[in-house]
A and B are shown apart, each in its own frame.
Chain A
Amino acid sequence: MQHPNGTLAELKAHVRRQWALLARQKLPLPEWQLMWKQAEAYGTAALSGAEVPGTFVPIPLQGSAAAVLAVPSDADSYPKVIDSLALLPLDETIVVAGRASEPLLEAIRRNAEGALIAHYPFPLDGDVGRALGAKLTGADTVLFVDAAASVPAETLGRFLWECDDGRLDVALPDQSSPKRLFHKRPAVQRWHELLNVTLSRPDLKMNTMAARPFALSRGALDAIGYADLAVPVKAHALALAKRLKVGVAVRMDATSPPTEGEASRLAAGDHIEAWGALMPSKGGRLGFSDRYRDRKAVGGVVNDAFLDSHSDE
Chain B
Amino acid sequence: MALPPWEAPYVSVIVPVMNEKRTLARVLREASRVHPSTEVIAVVNGSTDGSLQIARSSGARVLVFDRPLGHDVGRAIGAREALGQVLLFIDADMVIPASMLRPFVAAVESGTDVALNDYSGPTRRETVHGVVLAKHALNSLLGRPDLQGASLTAVPHALSRKALETIGSPALAVPPLAHAIAVHRGLEVRRARHVDVGLINPLRIKRERVNSLEPLIIGDHLEAIRWLRANTDDRGGHEDGIRKRSMVR
Chain A residues with Cβ under 8 A from B183's Cβ? none
Chain A residues with a Cβ under 8 A of chain B: 123-125, 127-128, 131-132, 135, 176-178, 180-183, 187, 190-191, 193-194, 197-198, 202, 205, 226-227, 229-231, 262-263, 265-266, 268-273, 275-276, 279, 284-286, 288-290, 292-295, 297-303, 306-307
Known: A190-B136, A262-B239, A290-B219. Is A177-B69 also a contact (CB below 8 A)? no
Q: In whole angstroms, what is the CA distance A176 to B69 when docked? A: 41
**Are B229 and A276 neighbours in the complex by a CB distance under 8 Å?**
yes
Q: In whole angstroms, what is the CA distance A272 to B240 when docked? A: 12
Between B215, B223, B228, the greatest number of chain A beta carbons within 10 A of the residue's beta carbon is seen for B223
Main secondary structure of the interface of B (DSSP, over half): helix
**Are A183 and B244 neighbours in the complex by a CB distance under 8 Å?**
no
> What is the size, in residues, of chain B's interface with A at 8 Å between Cβ atoms?
63
Q: In whole angstroms, what is the CA distance A177 to B224 when docked? A: 30
**Are A128 and B133 neighbours in the complex by a CB distance under 8 Å?**
no
Q: In whole angstroms, what is the CA distance A258 to B72 when docked? A: 36
Q: Taking CB as reference atom, which chain B residue is nearest A282? A: B222
Chain B residues with Cβ under 8 A from A297's Cβ? 65, 69, 73, 77
Chain B residues with a Cβ under 8 A of chain A: 65, 67-73, 76-77, 80, 123-128, 130, 132-134, 136-137, 140-141, 145, 168-171, 173-174, 177, 181, 215-216, 218-223, 225-230, 234-245, 247-249
**Are B234 and A294 neighbours in the complex by a CB distance under 8 Å?**
no
**Are B226 and A306 neighbours in the complex by a CB distance under 8 Å?**
yes
**Are A269 and B140 neighbours in the complex by a CB distance under 8 Å?**
no
B206 to chain A, nearest CB (A): 20
Chain A residues with Cβ under 8 A from B181's Cβ? 302
**Are A194 and B133 neighbours in the complex by a CB distance under 8 Å?**
yes
**Are B70 and A292 neighbours in the complex by a CB distance under 8 Å?**
yes
Chain B residues with Cβ under 8 A from A205's Cβ? 127
Known: A290-B216, A301-B170. Is A272-B238 also a contact (CB below 8 A)? yes
**Are A293 and B238 neighbours in the complex by a CB distance under 8 Å?**
no
Chain B residues with Cβ under 8 A from A266's Cβ? 238-241
**Are B70 and A284 neighbours in the complex by a CB distance under 8 Å?**
no
A252 to chain B, nearest CB (A): 17
Q: Taking CB as reference atom, which chain B residue is nearest A188? A: B140
Q: In whole angstroms, what is the CA distance A262 to B238 when docked? A: 9
A178 to chain B, nearest CB (A): 5
**Are B226 and A197 neighbours in the complex by a CB distance under 8 Å?**
no
**Are A193 and B133 neighbours in the complex by a CB distance under 8 Å?**
yes
